[in-house]
Amino acid sequence: MEAVLSLVSLTVTKVLQFSGQTDNWNAPRVKKMEEKALEVYDVIKSIRDPEKPNTLEELEVVTEKCVEVQELGEDEYLIIIRFSPTVPHCSLATLIGLCLQVKLQRCLPFKHKVSFSVT
């Protein structure tokens, strides 16, 4: 009986995926995460590079695509930022990460955890 129920459940899930019904159900959540990612990007794009007079956005150290937000719980989010220093051997990558962390702590109105990676 369990095998039949799991098979039926799997079949219904696949039918919904192929018909696009699951996308409609998940669309508001995806849109909310994209809005949060843009909010995060708006906060960090104006940070100045430690060595140059330009912002991280102008130097393409951070881009809109490098910011991802995932929901951890009710009004709690995981922010994933992948940034690319101007040169691969940049000795100030840790300082850039620290600047990003502090700016997000000071400016974001929602609870969050942040994960950084240098690409």
Write the pLDDT tens digit of every residue in 58-72. Answer: 999 999 999 999 999
Nearest to 92 by CA among 52, 41, 63: 52
Q: Write down the pLDDT at residue 14.
A: 61
Residue 26 sits at the vertex; the CA angle it makes with 24 and 31, to the nearest 5 degrees, is 100
Determine whether 91 is exposed, middle or buried from the number of CB atoms within 10 Å of its CB (0-12, 13-18, 19+).
Answer: exposed
Residue 74: predicted pLDDT: 85
Number of domains in the chain: 1
In a domain, 26, yes or no: no
Residue 9 lies in a domain: no
Residues lower than pLDDT 50 in the chain:
none
Q: Is residue 3 part of a domain?
A: no
Residue 114 domain flag? yes
pLDDT confidence of residue 27:
80
- Chain centroid, CA 89 distance in Å: 25
**CA distances for 55 relative to 38, 52, 62, 96, angstroms:** 17, 8, 9, 11
Q: What is the domain range of residue 96?
A: 32-118
Query: What CATH number is attached to the domain comprising 60?
Result: 3.30.300.130
The whole-number pLDDT of residue 70 equals 95
pLDDT value at residue 29: 85
